[in-house]
Amino acid sequence: LVLLRGDAEVAQTRAGLKVLAELGVNFHLVGPEACRQIEPALEAGTALKAGIHLPDSESGNCRQFALELKSALQRGGVQFHFHQAVHSLASGDKVTLQVRSAAPLPSGESAAPAPSREENFDAVVVCAAMGAPALLPSLRLPVQPVHGYSVTLPVRRHDGYPDLAPRAALMDERYKVAITRLGDRVRVAGSAELGGDPQAMRPAALATLYRVLEDWFPAAVRQTGGAQTWKGARPMLPDGPPAIGPTGQPGVWVNTGHGSSGWALACGSARVIADLIGGRAPAVDPTPFSPGRWRGA
């Protein structure tokens, strides 16, 4: 459910609704009363002009999805090697990686750098987010970090009464903040911080998340104890689409730059890169995702 606080938000969504209609996406533009039927715990005192209901859309826990996917792949024979830092790659008859162990140490401890070693592969896909430009300098990928924030909080229980948390997922169109129900927790996520320190939390960004949650679901969560805050860099490219495809180096492919739609585009991007590597025609035209579209710019 996309919440439209006022006339400005309704006007801003018209072009997007036209695209959804052209693509055959099931949606309904509904009034405030219908919004509160869909989400009964919505705060009545917060101004609400309309909503866009997408009944077939889904939300979920990205981290849990990734862990389950990892387990499924391991059962199928895939090997994972974590805490291995790749410093460079070169291609010829094989793709050669310079790799160094980077296992984390207990807090406060330090150790001499591990020796570098070579590992050879028939093909490599670089999915290194902000690390991709250093590994692929000839591509001149103009990828930049745009940091997002989230706060995950436990649902507040009310003895003998239903909880006052959201049933599913919502987006506040004015503040571009998502509120998602994850079982016994609620996750609030948003913000777009250009550059910045990935380790430094900006109080103003977190305050916006709490404000939007308070506006719509003031009694939904326990804000003392159990709160988890997170900040992560979305690797974004200036024209929008990710970079998916061959790099021009034999055996080296790239799949990065998905921005804030990383999970939404993950499986489709994997299908495209798998088809390209396997010599099959992808179901979608890969031209707009060409990794070489900045070469020579």
User: Exposed/middle/buried for 46, CB within 10 Å: 0-12, 13-18, 19+?
Assistant: middle
Q: What is the pLDDT of residue 107?
A: 66
Residue 198: pLDDT band with limits 50, 70, 90: confident
- How much of the chain, in percent, has pLDDT values that exceed 90? 81
Instruction: Report the greatest alpha carbon distance in the chain.
Output: 69
Going by pLDDT thresholds of 50, 70 and 90, the confidence category of residue 258 is very high
Distance of alpha carbon 20 from alpha carbon 207, whole angstroms: 32
Residue 12 confidence class, pLDDT cut points 50, 70, 90: very high
Q: Which residue has the higher pLDDT, 224 or 231?
A: 231
Lay out the sheet containing 95-101: strands in order across: 84-91, 95-101, 117-121
pLDDT band at 50 (very low <50, low <70, confident <90, very high): very high
Backbone angles phi, psi at 24, to 5 degrees: 75, 20
Mean pLDDT of 264-282: 96
Q: Is the pLDDT of residue 145 over 80?
A: yes
Is residue 126 a contact partner of residue 247, using CB atoms and an 8 Å limit?
A: yes
Q: What is the DSSP string of 160-207?
A: TB---S-SSEEEETTTTEEEEEETTEEEEEEEEEES--TT---HHHHH
Q: How confident is the model at residue 284 (pLDDT cuts 50, 70, 90)?
A: very high
Model pLDDT for residues 146-182, shown as the tens digit of each residue: 999 999 999 998 777 788 999 999 999 999 999 999 9
Of 70, 120, 142, residue with least CA distance to 252: 120
Lowest pLDDT segment from 49-63, 101-115, 194-208: 101-115
pLDDT at 136 over 60: yes
Strands 185-194 and 144-154 come out as antiparallel
- pLDDT given at position 157: 85
Mean pLDDT across 237-256: 95
Full-model pTM: 0.86
